[in-house]
Structure 1
Amino acid sequence: MVRETLNELSQLKQSGFGQPWPRHGLNLLYWFAQDYIDFSNGNIVSYYRPENGDFGFHKYHNRIDEEDPIVPIQNLPYYEVGNLNYSGADKLPNYVRANYSRNIPDNNKDRVIVRLDANGRFNRVYVTEHSDPKRFDGSKTFRVSQGLLLIIKNKSRDQYLSELSNTPGEQARFTQQSDYNRQANNDSWCTIL
């Protein structure tokens, strides 16, 4: 189950989400805050509809057969994004996909999960990571506040990453614009996430 709500960049940094490089979660969350959502009358609104599958969004089934689901069980739909192998993920910006390689198991484990309310607005946003090919790690699942999303939206990518990086070298690696690498390696569990 969700451990806590992240309200500040320092809390996001301490959570470990999207770290260390070459994981893509920090860039995924930046893209989500910058290009996928906006704010209107205190609500998070989307420029797109996650149910359409744009950018690799797909329905998240909060597996109720597990003893401890990672997000609250609600009669509202959840959607996830971030699987770089999923149909539509090739529409994510290059800076999100840039360092992806099937040969590096940890660089495709980060996800953003959203819950839609009855009006189609996002009433909850979460970040999480896979613990294995089939499950997310409940101890690494955090709710992201509207305030933190707004903080991210109001920063340049370099500013955002510099505040989250532990060293200047790490920030440089996160901001690299290397070529998107689609090497096939079916031996790595990241290929099925």
Structure 2
Amino acid sequence: MSGRHPIGSLVLILALTFVGAVKELNSIKDLKKITSGDSVPRHSLVLLYWFANTIEIDNNGVILLTFEPNNGDYGTHHYGNYEGLLDPLPRRGVPHRYYTLGNLNQMDNQNSAYAFPAYVTQNLHNWMEYEERNRARIIFRVSGNTGRQAGQRIDQVYITQHFESNLGQGTRYDPAHTYSITTDLLREIREFTVRENQRNSLPQLRARFGRNIDDSHT
């Protein structure tokens, strides 16, 4: 221990503090608590709404992939978790991998069947500056090899955000504004969508959370 540099020890302690310390959101009520202020980008709610209605959830509560992240569907790409934001990947057994999505710069609705719908990418200029709205991300962890036909499992889901650009943190995610999303919350959002019907569910969520979600859900 005597040879360890104090700065290195502090970094290690902070990293260990962040791992496993992510707050869990289990219901729309929990979600409302964090979206009632300015703790998360407003676009996080739209991304989560889209994600909940894109993945599948079977009768056992297992979340199934409906797209291929390794092909870049919806702008998805590998997330290395190098800063130790989330739990380390298991070293044995079934392979696991983290992916992130939500970068609006990577969307091309005209040329890809696996790109975000218009309500995610359009009419956002009324909310905030582009840099601010593009901070929101979803991170998910896949268990097993990916592939649309395989129906692979997603065993962890998070909403997060990049640090504000003026903080000089580059493209790192903010651990203080990273939240674990449970299957129960995803299921509740899906049930809400069916109950209110697809055309009206976004305006209803806007009213529920006091956010200016785009009404043009197509």
Query: So what's the TM-score if we normalise by structure 2?
Result: 0.67
Task: Determine which structure has more spread, i.e. the larger CA radius of gyration.
Answer: 2
Q: Report the RMSD for the aligned CA atoms in angstroms.
A: 2.7
Q: Which amino acid is 1:45 matched to?
A: L
SS of corresponding position for 1:77: strand
| Residue 87 (structure 1) shift | 5.2
Q: Is the contact made by 2:63 and 2:155 (CA closer than 8 Å) also made in structure 1?
A: yes
* Cα separation, partners in 2 of 1:176 and 1:42, compared to 1, 3 Å: closer
Percent of aligned positions with the same letter in both sequences?
34
Q: Is the contact made by 2:76 and 2:99 (CA closer than 8 Å) also made in structure 1?
A: yes
The yes-or-no answer on 1:37 pairing with 2:68 is no
| Residue 160 (structure 1) shift | 2.7
2-structure distance, mates of 1:18, 1:84: 23
Structure with more contact order per residue of length (Cα contacts < 8 Å, sep ≥ 6): 1
Q: Is the contact made by 1:17 and 1:140 (CA closer than 8 Å) also made in structure 2?
A: no
Which residue does 1:181 correspond to in 2?
none
SS of corresponding position for 1:47: coil
**For 2:172, which of 113, 121, 135 is the aligned residue?**
135
Alignment of 1:65-144 (within 5 A): 66=83, 69-75=84-90, 76-86=96-106, 91-100=115-124, 103-118=129-144, 120-132=152-164, 133-144=170-181
2-structure distance, mates of 1:10, 1:44: 21
| Residue 6 (structure 1) shift | 0.2
Q: Is the contact made by 1:78 and 1:113 (CA closer than 8 Å) also made in structure 2?
A: yes
The yes-or-no answer on 1:14 pairing with 2:9 is no
Q: Which amino acid is 2:72 matched to?
A: G
| Residue 158 (structure 1) shift | 2.7
**For 2:72, which of 53, 58, 62 is the aligned residue?**
53
Listed one character per residue, the Cα deviations across residues 118-143 of structure 1 (whole Å, up to 9, x for unaligned) are 26310000000111441110010010
SS of corresponding position for 2:213: helix
* Cα separation, partners in 2 of 1:8 and 1:103, compared to 1, 3 Å: closer
Q: Is the contact made by 1:60 and 1:80 (CA closer than 8 Å) also made in structure 2?
A: yes
Q: Is the contact made by 1:17 and 1:26 (CA closer than 8 Å) also made in structure 2?
A: no
Unaligned runs of 5+ in 1: 179-193
| Residue 25 (structure 1) shift | 1.5
* Cα separation, partners in 2 of 1:136 and 1:99, compared to 1, 3 Å: farther
* Cα separation, partners in 2 of 1:159 and 1:153, compared to 1, 3 Å: same
Q: Which amino acid is 1:37 matched to?
A: I
1-structure distance, mates of 2:37, 2:98: 21
Alignment of 1:152-191 (within 5 A): 152-155=189-192, 156-165=201-210, 170=211, 173-177=212-216
